[in-house]
Amino acid sequence: IYNGCPKAFEAGIWWPQTKFGQPAAVPCPKGSVGNAVRHCNIEKGWLPPELFNCTTNTFMDLKIMNEKLHHNETRLDGDKTIRIVRVLQNATKYTHSLYGNDVRTAYQMMIRVLQYESQQQGFDLAATRDVEFNENIIKVGSALLDPSNKEHWEQIQRTEGGTAHLLRHYEEYFNNVAQNMKKTYMRPFVIVTTNMIIAVDLFDKSNFTGARIPRFHEIKEEYPKDLESSVVFPDTLFRPSDRKVPTMKPS
């Protein structure tokens, strides 16, 4: 073939013979939906396939729900957030490698869930009704932030907030959880995953001798050593300040 690229197999797809300067659009690989695109370049021949817009079958229900929420066809509530997070956890756990659209769908859904839960108080928090809720959202976050998804995030961040935006919402959510721990009788916890560790603890102000959180020596699970960083709270944290407020001298 002298005027195009030959039929070729790449990324689980047979790409048809295509003329130079033309794209080939074919259905995504088995087990996913959408269209994959590959350009035939006059100088380089076949360029790398673009599968970002493929969606794995395990993410299809989430994609539909995300679109309904986007178009205000449905609204989030406490039961929906629990259900969505369970589906997200299963989808990220049992999908071997994620397509770009899987990551984008899960990212957008997690932002919605974290925003909603950051506004709930007391026993309206999903974590008070589902003991696995906090663990599930950390597991989903860890799966999304895996280095294998780096290229997907680079593409998502061209048009959306991306990883920093996602982590800010996690921070706001767990800040809300911490503020609600006493009134909901929630116990301190540490959740360890491959790419994220969260520790939430309670301190007794009247008898505080300092702390280092997380307490890695108490963690029994395996965790990557590059995640081993702690926050040190000094024993002076809750003591009243000794600094004297300057007073104005009469002139």
Write out residues in the chain with pLDDT < 50, as ranges.
none
Is the bond preceding 147 in cis, omega lying within 30 degrees of 0?
no
The total of other beta-carbon atoms located within 10 Å of residue 210's CB is 11
d(CA 11, CA 14): 8
Q: In this predicted structure, what is the pLDDT of residue 2?
A: 73
Q: In this predicted structure, what is the pLDDT of residue 239?
A: 75
Q: In this predicted structure, what is the pLDDT of residue 203?
A: 82
CATH class of the structural domain 57-186? mainly alpha
Q: In this predicted structure, what is the pLDDT of residue 230?
A: 76
The token pair that represents 140 in the structure block? 């989903």
Q: In this predicted structure, what is the pLDDT of residue 232?
A: 82
Q: In this predicted structure, what is the pLDDT of residue 8?
A: 95
d(CA 16, CA 8): 7
What is the tens place of the pLDDT at every residue in 195-225?
A: 998 888 888 888 888 877 777 767 777 777 7
Q: In this predicted structure, what is the pLDDT of residue 105?
A: 97
The kind and range of the H/E element at 47 are none
Letter for the amino acid at 46?
W
Q: In this predicted structure, what is the pLDDT of residue 244?
A: 55
Region of residue 203 (left: phi > 0; alpha: psi -120 to 50; beta: else) = beta
